[in-house]
Amino acid sequence: MRPLEGRLALVTGASRGIGAATALALGKAGAHVVLTARTAGGLEEVEEKIHNLGGTATIAPLDLTENDSIARLATAIAGRWQALDLLVLNAAMLGTLTPVPAIDAKELAKLLTLNVTAQQALLAAFDPMLRASDDAKVIGLTSSVAQRPRAYWGAYGASKAALETLLLAYGEEMKAISKVRVAIVDPGATATAMRARAYPGEDAATIQQPADVAAAILRFIAEPFPTGFRFRVAGSARDQVEAV
């Protein structure tokens, strides 16, 4: 079954982890997937896997924090397609886990640029194409620390809290004038490179894998959901206190 046949999806941070797994799932389901990340080699590997599954994809290596990169991407995509049906905002950086008084100002600015400013720029750039879709969905990846602050996670948690506010506000703005619906997905404890940085020494086999999160996202978007819906993938007692 290819329930997303004929649909166009854009996935950020698609060269590895949850982004790559989600792109693979969407491609297998029939969507044409535009893959973005800084690493061209990783994107090429994901693109090849999608093709091997019978899907189609286009890679767009870029740094979302560069001044005009998002605008150039939007112009290129709009030149080939009329509408964007699914936007998965996955790209993010963790930053250094440190007490709030010790947060480095330059690193915080870089973190907020990617985790917040670039996300708003993506919404702004692709808003016309999302509105042109008859069933557009925007999925933003978040973390439990956005709503439950944790010691040493202040910078990352603040960026995710800001992202959630932006997404939910956009959803409220769109629900009466378009078919765009917005949802926030908290993947829970997942074996990613980011989590490995936060929890060195953890056995990745003891937590869920990126493919598990991707499968849950695919099931989620297949059904109607109200804009502003928040979805947590993991549900065990341990996951309820994990951040990434």
pTM score, whole prediction: 0.94
Tokens linked to 119: 């996300």
138 forms beta bridges with 87, 182
Q: Where are the domains of the chain?
A: 8-241
Angle of the 40-52 helix axis to the 17-28 helix axis, nearest 10: 30
Pairing of strands 86-89, 8-12: parallel
> Is domain 8-241 classified as CATH 3.40.50.720?
yes
Q: What is the per-residue pLDDT for 240?
A: 36
Q: What is the per-residue pLDDT for 95?
A: 98
Pairing of strands 86-89, 137-141: parallel
Q: What is the per-residue pLDDT for 67?
A: 87
* Tens digits of residue pLDDT in 192-236: 999 999 999 999 999 999 999 999 999 999 999 999 999 999 744
Identify the H or E element spanning 220: helix 210-221
As annotated, the active-site residues are 156
Helix (H, G, I), strand (E, B) or coil at 82: coil
